[in-house]
Structure 1
Amino acid sequence: MTIGEERDDRTVQAWAALGGAPELAGRVSYRGAGDLGEGPLPVGELARASVGVCGLAAAELAAVRAGGRAQDVAPLVVDEGAVATAFVSERHLRVAGRTPVTFAPLSGFWRTGDGWVRTHANYAHHEAALVRALRLPSATPEAVRAALAGRTAVEVQELVYGEGGLAVAVAGDDGEPQPLMEPVRESGARGRTLGDAPVGRPATGVRVLDLTRVIAGPVATRTLGLLGADVLRIDSPRLPEADDAYADTGFGKRSALLDLARAADRAVFEGLLAGADVVVSGYRPGALERYGFGARELLERWPGLVVAELCAWGWRARGPWAGRRGFDSLVQAGYGIAARCAGPDGVPGVLPAQALDHGTGYLVAAGVLRALAEGGGRGLRFSLAGTGSWLVRGPAGAAPADGGPADGGPAGAEYAAGPWLRETASGYGMVRHAASPFGEWAAGPSRWGTDPAVWLPR
């Protein structure tokens, strides 16, 4: 594609959803090849476009901070090899020479009396809930198979959710349309004025409070950290994180623990909010509202903030789904993607990457960067289901999407992950990891929960 003459359709769609000026979409071009395009859905197109608009939003913010206009954005080239490697970063991770376990034995597809169900039991509390819900005699795959044989998929789904676990009936049809991004409110106020920023680090001086877990939100915030932001992740000490998950997504940030049920910790948290420019929240809808820290409350008390919320099932989901927990694998199952990817034997399949997570992460980062370029003071919403809706049908109301030759890069091009893998010291020892499509992190992650809950000096 010649810069400024031809536009990538997915990039145009994503940039429009983010509210970007249409004429800027042609400033992004792609080179090289990835390996995400072999399948029934255009995963490669989604991947490169989500990274492309994130880079475009970073360039827009850089232009604004340099005293110019958004229209002064310079042309941007994204390498598809870097994108493909980053989109499966968890698969490339090695921690002190060890290969992490991606999915636990009780996570996966299981046949039921009338179809299939997908479970997620990577965390100990979710595995315990699955065992309780199904009254398993032991936490083994054999016990799960025996317990599901006489039940319907929806019955299993509701039993497990009722106990606080995670299971989703595999849907045969595409889920209801969801927006790729939903701007939900503007406070009418502007955030702190941002001055010049170093080349390649347009978010320098921006403070980001990271209230996210697992992949999508942490991908967004590690990207903002690479682009210069001071990112501080806050977790509850009562909700442990998996070390391997943090070793992959903890780059570009610090990590501290606060219990919002304790008055002293809540006061520290409010102090952090008073000094923040951005809040990225990945908790299910309603989880932070009970403490008075929902998006509406945050923008009322600190109107200059950019507040980006992400959830699993979409903010317009019907019935109980909007308030339910979920992960990429579960949304693939419930949104019809797993059925589309089924093999000849009818067993549900998966995308070649956890593309809903990674794609949403880059889109969230892009939305935050665009909001900063426009002065702050606004709330944004994203969801894994919104990214899934974009994958299967394009923008809401468009014709269903199909994979195409562009997914795999130029004809004859070859992909290898090696050029995009790095080794970096971290709090967990030496880690091998995927590089960011936007550059190099200065250091590896600290250990989860070991940093002080304070901002760095600006």
Structure 2
Amino acid sequence: MDSDFSALSAGTSHAWAALGADPALVERVSYGGRPGGLPARLPVMGLARATVAVCSLAAAELASVRTGRAVPRVRVDDGAVTAAFLSERLVRVDGRAGTGFAPLSRFWRAADGWVRTHANYPHHRDRLLRALGVPDGPGVADAVAEAVAGRRAVDVEDAVYAAGGLAVAVRDVARWAAHEQGALVPARPLLTLERVDGPAEAGPPRAWSRVTGAGTPLLPCAGVRVLDLTRVLAGPVATRTLALLGADVLRIDAPHLPESQEAHDDTGMGKRSTTLDLGRRADHRVFEELLADAHVVVTGYRPGALDRFGLSAEALAERRPGLVVGQLSAWGRYGPWRGRRGFDSLVQAATGIALLEGSGGEPGALPAQALDHGTGYLLAAAVLRALTGRCGPDGGGTRLVRVALTQTAHWLVHGPAGTPARDGGLDPERWTTTKDTPTGRLRHALPPVAYEGGPSDWTRPPGPWGADPARWATA
């Protein structure tokens, strides 16, 4: 390995402690595989190993609780972890790779520094152009460059945010620490897992009594129903992992916010996908019927965006006692940026990571969207631990899980994630598989979450985004 065991286990132990779990179980984790994935100045590989390790260990712990067996041993393989953190880049459909970032999603030189924009979705692109006063058409990238170059970076940030778009000024670590949002981050934990006041449903979640979880492979989430209200990338990674572990995951999107099929080919593994307009009475009624039989709800929209539909943690706890609620945000649910949209690339730019990974005064990027992937595995781990808690003697009540990209970023920059990795390369053939799907011949990364007796792949490939009926697969 490119780090000694103490460095490897430090990151895992830190994340496992944040989950409120038994520290002795960390001894059941081992590491191996070809070293040197995800080379960077920051310890990206250490973060990746640790987040996959705690997710695997949380799955093993839940499997133990549901079967009465000993906690299975966990194995973290560098090759599998590297492939998983690069999963969106490894996807091929009929041999074709995805398009990646859109042309207007990039760094731009401002009058006093740099700005990072995100314009992959058409509505974000339109808002960016409107904020900058740039007409669409030929030469639009040059026009954006000229518009940004004549302004201060924070002025671009403010203008684009006011228009509902996505742009942040590139800051170094010190400037982020002094920022009114960044200054709040160090006092916050890596994640939170707590109870929510509301009616208590005692004992294991409904419908679990008829599921032993003792099959082959060992699926700790068998019988668990998950409503997935998330979008790229961290939330879908988390729910993709729950699907791997046996959960019936139904992703729900608004029909007026279409998802990229390319993204769904990567993160839709094991799930079904439907659309509901929660603003329409009939669709909202369907959602409430689904909620009545759900065990987990995971949301990935900016804080408060779904509250008007009765999807705050408190409202969910009142209507569906005993639910596990997972909430993901970019900037955290606190401070002046709590209601802002955000993506991995923007958090890297704002928190100092882009400048740490850059060179020659120009910003750079991590070798993977590691904040997204790492936060996704932390979110899945916390949901699994919440389900374990629901099975215990004091298991009544609703559990609330909260994670944020900015907290994961702080851990990467300042926490015990390990030492930076050198480039050992990746063998895509070993850590990917190919199968026929409704949209074509799909190559995808294999899952990194692994424990004795656990699954080695998803039971179903993704289909066309939004094409499934709005009902549970299990009766």
TM-score by length of 1: 0.92
* Pairwise CA distance, 1:185: 2.9
Post-superposition Cα deviations, 1:8-55, rounded to whole Å, max 9, x if no partner, equal 100000100111111111211110135444222110000011011111
Task: Say if 1:162 and 1:370 are closer, same or farther in 2 by CA, change over 3 A.
Answer: same
How do residues 85-104 of structure 1 correspond to structure 2 at under 5 angstroms?
Answer: 85-104=83-102
Query: Structure 1 stretch 51-60 or stretch 35-44: which is displaced more?
Result: 35-44
Q: Is 2:201 aligned against 1:189?
A: yes
Post-superposition Cα deviations, 1:198-236, rounded to whole Å, max 9, x if no partner, equal 243111110000000111010111111011000000000
Q: Is 2:351 aligned against 1:335?
A: yes
Contact conserved, 2:271 with 2:460, CA < 8 A, in 1?
no
How do residues 334-373 of structure 1 correspond to structure 2 at under 5 angstroms?
Answer: 334-343=350-359, 345-373=360-388
CA distance in 2, matches of 1:37, 1:121: 25
Query: Structure 1 stretch 176-185 or stretch 239-248: which is displaced more?
Result: 176-185
Corresponding residue number in structure 1 for 2:179: none
CA distance in 1, matches of 2:310, 2:425: 51
Corresponding residue number in structure 2 for 1:129: 127
* Pairwise CA distance, 1:116: 0.4
Q: Is 2:448 aligned against 1:432?
A: no
Contact conserved, 2:348 with 2:354, CA < 8 A, in 1?
yes
Post-superposition Cα deviations, 1:369-412, rounded to whole Å, max 9, x if no partner, equal 111111162111001111111111117xxxxx7734xx459xxx
Whichever residue aligns with residue 437 of structure 1, its letter is P
What secondary structure is seen at the aligned counterpart in 2 of 1:309? strand
Corresponding residue number in structure 2 for 1:457: 474
Whichever residue aligns with residue 449 of structure 1, its letter is G
Contact conserved, 1:211 with 1:280, CA < 8 A, in 2?
yes
Whichever residue aligns with residue 337 of structure 1, its letter is I
Instruction: Structure 2: state its 5+ residue gaps.
Output: 177-181, 450-455
Contact conserved, 1:34 with 1:415, CA < 8 A, in 2?
no
Q: Is 2:28 aligned against 1:16?
A: no
What secondary structure is seen at the aligned counterpart in 1 of 2:164? coil
CA distance in 1, matches of 2:362, 2:444: 31
How do residues 216-231 of structure 1 correspond to structure 2 at under 5 angstroms?
Answer: 216-231=234-249
Contact conserved, 1:214 with 1:245, CA < 8 A, in 2?
yes
Post-superposition Cα deviations, 1:252-295, rounded to whole Å, max 9, x if no partner, equal 10001100110010010001100000011101100111111111
Contact conserved, 1:425 with 1:443, CA < 8 A, in 2?
no
CA distance in 2, matches of 1:246, 1:96: 15
CA distance in 1, matches of 2:89, 2:267: 12
CA distance in 1, matches of 2:38, 2:110: 31
Which of 443, 449, 458 aligns to 2:460? It is: 443
Identity of aligned residues (%): 55
CA distance in 1, matches of 2:434, 2:24: 39
Corresponding residue number in structure 1 for 2:266: 248
What secondary structure is seen at the aligned counterpart in 1 of 2:102? coil
Corresponding residue number in structure 2 for 1:423: 434
What secondary structure is seen at the aligned counterpart in 1 of 2:20? coil
Whichever residue aligns with residue 120 of structure 1, its letter is H
Contact conserved, 1:422 with 1:433, CA < 8 A, in 2?
yes
Which of 382, 389, 406 aligns to 1:374? It is: 389
* Pairwise CA distance, 1:328: 0.4
RMSD of equivalent CA atoms? 1.8
Post-superposition Cα deviations, 1:48-69, rounded to whole Å, max 9, x if no partner, equal 110111110110010000135x
CA distance in 2, matches of 1:394, 1:25: 18
Whichever residue aligns with residue 44 of structure 1, its letter is M
Corresponding residue number in structure 2 for 1:76: 74
CA distance in 2, matches of 1:362, 1:36: 18
CA distance in 1, matches of 2:36, 2:272: 32
Instruction: Structure 1: state its 5+ residue gaps.
Output: 396-400
Post-superposition Cα deviations, 1:398-448, rounded to whole Å, max 9, x if no partner, equal xxx7734xx459xxx764222011112223211111111132112210111
CA distance in 1, matches of 2:442, 2:31: 29
CA distance in 2, matches of 1:452, 1:402: 45
Task: Say if 1:240 and 1:434 are closer, same or farther in 2 by CA, change over 3 A.
Answer: same
Contact conserved, 2:248 with 2:474, CA < 8 A, in 1?
no
Corresponding residue number in structure 2 for 1:398: none
Corresponding residue number in structure 2 for 1:52: 53
Task: Say if 1:34 and 1:447 are closer, same or farther in 2 by CA, change over 3 A.
Answer: farther
CA distance in 1, matches of 2:38, 2:229: 32
Corresponding residue number in structure 1 for 2:404: 383
Contact conserved, 2:87 with 2:445, CA < 8 A, in 1?
yes
Whichever residue aligns with residue 394 of structure 1, its letter is G
Whichever residue aligns with residue 431 of structure 2, its letter is W
Which of 254, 279, 284 aligns to 2:302? It is: 284
CA distance in 2, matches of 1:42, 1:295: 34
CA distance in 2, matches of 1:74, 1:81: 21
Post-superposition Cα deviations, 1:181-210, rounded to whole Å, max 9, x if no partner, equal 112434443432454112431111100000
What secondary structure is seen at the aligned counterpart in 2 of 1:431? strand
* Pairwise CA distance, 1:179: 2.1
Corresponding residue number in structure 2 for 1:215: 233
Task: Say if 1:93 and 1:133 are closer, same or farther in 2 by CA, change over 3 A.
Answer: same
**Count of paired positions:** 439
* Pairwise CA distance, 1:331: 0.5
Whichever residue aligns with residue 427 of structure 2, its letter is A
Task: Say if 1:168 and 1:414 are closer, same or farther in 2 by CA, change over 3 A.
Answer: closer
CA distance in 2, matches of 1:425, 1:414: 28
CA distance in 2, matches of 1:415, 1:127: 34
CA distance in 2, matches of 1:257, 1:137: 32
CA distance in 1, matches of 2:128, 2:438: 32
Corresponding residue number in structure 2 for 1:148: 148
CA distance in 2, matches of 1:382, 1:364: 6
